[in-house]
């Protein structure tokens, strides 16, 4: 792969596993230096850092933080600047996902789902914005196709992601013309690591997808890379990467 992001610094939240790790690998392969955020998955984060630094020494650093602690969000950006001196892109990937059936929703669930999926991206973006403006940088938010078409029994998650889609467009207006802000909306890419979706539910979702298969984390990573590296005239957009499922919902 060419290295068009050589010299760029990208902060990726929730980057130790799953989609975040795929995004990190893709951007690193394109030459970017990375600040990788994690909360609990320390061993995974350290393994990812070691593997990428073995490819290019001192190109990846780690920052541990709870994104629900709003007072610490600006510190994540400060740590990135202290390590790499500047920041060119922010990828708001970290997310919480679980059902909240109406009638059983708690304030703790609200705080968690809104906090990770909407509040943290807002305040991280606010903290990073002055530094992104200096370099003509970009923000990429990881949304969900259910931001537009709510998932039954996932009301709080769906509206949090809807808020993040709205935030993407609002920030695009607020930060233009210096900073581009876009979002990627995954469909069926990785199943949750619990029994939330049984075999029947999974097959039903696949059958609703025009391409009749699930996607790969690399599909999301490619879209993030596109927005950061190959879309200088694109801002305020939400790209569905869902195999066509949103067309049928």
Question: Which candidate in 157, 225, 226, 233 is catalytic?
Answer: 157
For the purposes of burial, counting CB atoms within 10 Å of the CB of 26, is it exposed (0-12), middle (13-18) or buried (19 or more)? buried
Q: 157 catalytic, yes or no?
A: yes
Which residues are registered as beta bridge partners of 154? Answer: 100
For the purposes of burial, counting CB atoms within 10 Å of the CB of 3, is it exposed (0-12), middle (13-18) or buried (19 or more)? middle
**String of DSSP letters for 54-113:** HHSTT-EEEEE--TT-GGGHHHHHHHHHHHHS---EEEE-------B-TTS--HHHHHHH
CA distances 177 to 15, 135, 234, Å, are 28, 12, 11
Catalytic residues: 157
């Amino acid at each position: 792969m060419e290295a068009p992001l050589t010299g760029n610094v990208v902060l990726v939240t929730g980057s130790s596993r799953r989609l975040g790790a795929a995004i990190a690998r893709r951007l690193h392969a394109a030459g970017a230096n990375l600040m990788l955020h994690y909360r609990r998955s320390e061993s995974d984060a350290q393994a990812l850092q070691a593997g990428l630094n073995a490819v290019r020494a001192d190109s990846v650093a780690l920052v541990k933080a709870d994104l629900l602690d709003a007072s610490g969000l600006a510190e994540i950006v400060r740590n990135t600047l202290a390590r790499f001196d500047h920041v060119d892109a922010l990828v708001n990937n970290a997310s919480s996902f679980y059902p909240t059936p109406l009638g059983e929703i708690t304030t703790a669930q609200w705080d968690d789902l809104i906090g990770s999926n909407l509040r943290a991206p807002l305040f991280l973006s606010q903290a990073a914005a002055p530094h992104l403006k200096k370099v003509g940088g970009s923000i990429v938010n990881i949304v969900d196709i259910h931001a537009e078409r709510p998932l039954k029994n996932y009301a709080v998650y769906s509206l949090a992601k809807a808020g993040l889609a709205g935030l993407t467009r609002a920030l695009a207006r607020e930060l233009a013309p210096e900073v581009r802000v876009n979002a990627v909306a995954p469909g069926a890419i990785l199943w949750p690591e619990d029994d939330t979706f049984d075999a029947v539910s999974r097959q039903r979702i696949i059958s609703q997808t025009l391409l009749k298969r699930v996607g790969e984390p690399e599909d999301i990573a490619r879209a993030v890379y596109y927005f950061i590296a190959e879309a200088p005239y694109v801002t305020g957009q939400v790209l569905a990467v869902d195999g066509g499922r949103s067309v049928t919902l």
